[in-house]
Amino acid sequence: MRDTTTSQMHRNGDVVLGDDWVAPNSTVAEEMQVKRARRGVFSLKGSPLTRKIITFNLIALIILVSGILYLNSSRDSLVAQRAEALVSEVRLISDVFQARLPGGGPVNLVTGDGIDVAETLEALHLRQGVELFVFDTAGSLVGQVQGTETVDVEGAQSGSTVITDGLAAIWGFVSAPLAGGTAGPERDIQQQLTDHLPEVLSGSTKVVTLTDQTGGKVFSASTPIQSGAQLAGALALVSPSGEIDALVRAERERVLQMFVVALLVSIGLSLVLASTIANPLSDLAEAAELGRDRNARNSTPGRIRIPDLTARPDEIGRLSRALRGMVSALYNRIDGNEQFAADVAHEIKNPLASLQSAVGTLRMVKRDDQRTRLLDVIEHDVRRLDRLVSDISNASRLDAELVKEEQDNFDLLTMLGNLNQYLGEDARTKGIDYIADLPAEPITIHGLEARLAQVFVNLITNAISFCEDGDAIRVWARKRQNRVLIVVEDTGPGIPEQALSKIFKRFYSQRPEEHFGNNSGLGLAISKQIVEAHGGVIWAENIRPTEADITSEPLGARFVVGLPV
């Protein structure tokens, strides 16, 4: 019967559920729960990734707000608005003065000829903080008044600016050592206005920035007073001290308040985001580390179980799937090696037991013919051991060699043609008809040509070994869409039904008695391993005269290899 191998999965007491498994005790699960509880949902201390996510989000938000505050044009727009309002206001006051001047007559603001300046100033209702200066044509101050009316001007109510004042105090404390020397004495508002009077008295309205006695910035709008075609004097309206700064502080306070809200929201969202990233990654890492303690000396009982996060449609789901696949493949390899070692020990014991028996009997026999027969048995068992050790060595190296060897494109039909020419001659010398039925068009596949040739050599030589004089072997191939099927058929005795499920297991061999010990039972197992490494499939079946009667005697055996093109 065909060569095969035995590959049994065992889990050392674990229950196998598909690709997953359940530990015989809850030690691993309990340890994972303890680690999760100790770590917490939002862990900053034990999660560098969480700290990085929060830090990077805050840095981006801080840079954004800083840029808004630095590039904010609210101060310039407020200055322009207040300047326009101040110009309109001073022109309106100028119109009031002009309305009180006598038409066409000379006007002297100093002596009050033609207009009572004090009375006119008292009749004005200026808003609180605004200061009005009246100058004559010689630049002398004629009158001065400060507004006392409380007027609800849009934007004037700045409200509390706790954040802005706090930041200003901190900045003042930090920048104090770097500040320069004290500035010189400031000139009063009247002196500064006098410097710009010549331009105003020339007939133009002028807006200038002045410095008050506290060092704050104020704005002044100056305009001439006309009496018909004659110039009677000039008016200068000065904005309240610190008005613009207060409005700017209020604007910045609103921005900073929104920044604080955005800061809290960003921290919260960062923690939620980190919990969806860092916690699963921590679970994956801790699950992989549970096999050893921190000192890497003691092993935790039970197998490593990677959390199943494959349902997540992101990179963590891919990582979980990859780790679970790697762990499953590792345990499969470990289990396979353990089973392989057990099978090897079992297979080697048989010829060793036969050798031991033959050697022990050889010491007692006296007849030469019996000694000769025992020596033949010993020689046969030695050859069997040599063949078995060689096949075991090749099988144990196969996985590593399949990974290391470079795959390449090659013509499958050319390779099969060479095998048919060589093995066909061997079959014909034994009286076996050898039929090759290959397509005319080449079929190119990607893989290891030498390894696949090893598969077909094994299948064809197997067929030859089971055929007798007058039997036939047929090797044919057909391409089906993205796959190619290669079939090796013979008219030998076929495969017993009970052996069809075992034929590809390691060390399984059921041959005629005259062939006992000539095969290790690894040939078909190695062939199956090579085919599956190429993404293909291989199976065996009997050729029957009719598929309707499965109890009918087989007409031969058929091995089918399917490979991707």
Share of the chain above pLDDT 70, in %: 73
CA distance 374 to 380: 10
pLDDT in tens, 530-556: 898 888 999 988 887 766 566 667 788
Residues 6 or more apart from 560 whose CB is under 8 A from it? Answer: 485, 486, 487, 538, 539, 540, 541
The pTM of this model reads: 0.47
pLDDT above 70 (res 40) = no
What DSSP state is assigned to residue 139?
S
Residue of 499, 437, 482, 487 lying closest to 463 (CA atoms): 487
Residue 385 vs residues 7, 362, 372, 378, 381: alpha-carbon distances, Å:
21, 19, 20, 10, 6
pLDDT value, residue 71? 60
CA distance 62 to 433: 86
pLDDT in tens, 203-247: 888 888 888 777 777 888 898 888 777 788 888 988 887 776 777
pLDDT in tens, 419-429: 998 898 888 99
Pairing of strands 556-564, 20-22: unpaired
Per-domain boundaries in the chain: 25-71+243-301, 91-177+184-241, 342-564
How many contiguous H segments (helices) and E segments (strands) does the chain have? Answer: 12, 16
Mean pLDDT, the chain, as a whole number?
75
Residue 446 vs residues 72, 358, 400, 406, 479: alpha-carbon distances, Å:
64, 50, 19, 10, 15
Domain boundaries 91-177+184-241, corresponding CATH code: 3.30.450
C-alpha R_g of the chain: 51
Q: Which CATH number fits domain 342-564: 3.40.50.970, 3.30.565.10, 3.10.310.10, 3.40.50.10470?
A: 3.30.565.10
pLDDT value, residue 104? 57
pLDDT in tens, 348-386: 777 788 888 888 888 888 788 888 888 888 887 788 777
DSSP character string of 270-314: HHHHHHHHHHHHHHHHHHHHTTB-TTS-SBPSS-------TTSSS
pLDDT above 90 (res 561) = yes
Domains 91-177+184-241 and 342-564 agree in fold: no
- Beta strands (DSSP E) in 323-407 are none
pLDDT value, residue 470? 87
> Residue 397 class from Cβ within 10 Å (0-12 exposed, 13-18 middle, 19+ buried)?
exposed
User: In what helix (H) or strand (E) does residue 460 lie, and over which residues does it extend?
Assistant: helix 449-466
pLDDT value, residue 560? 92
Among 104-118, 210-224, 312-326, 460-474, top mean pLDDT goes to 460-474
CA distance 149 to 131: 12
- How much is the average pLDDT of 439-466? 89
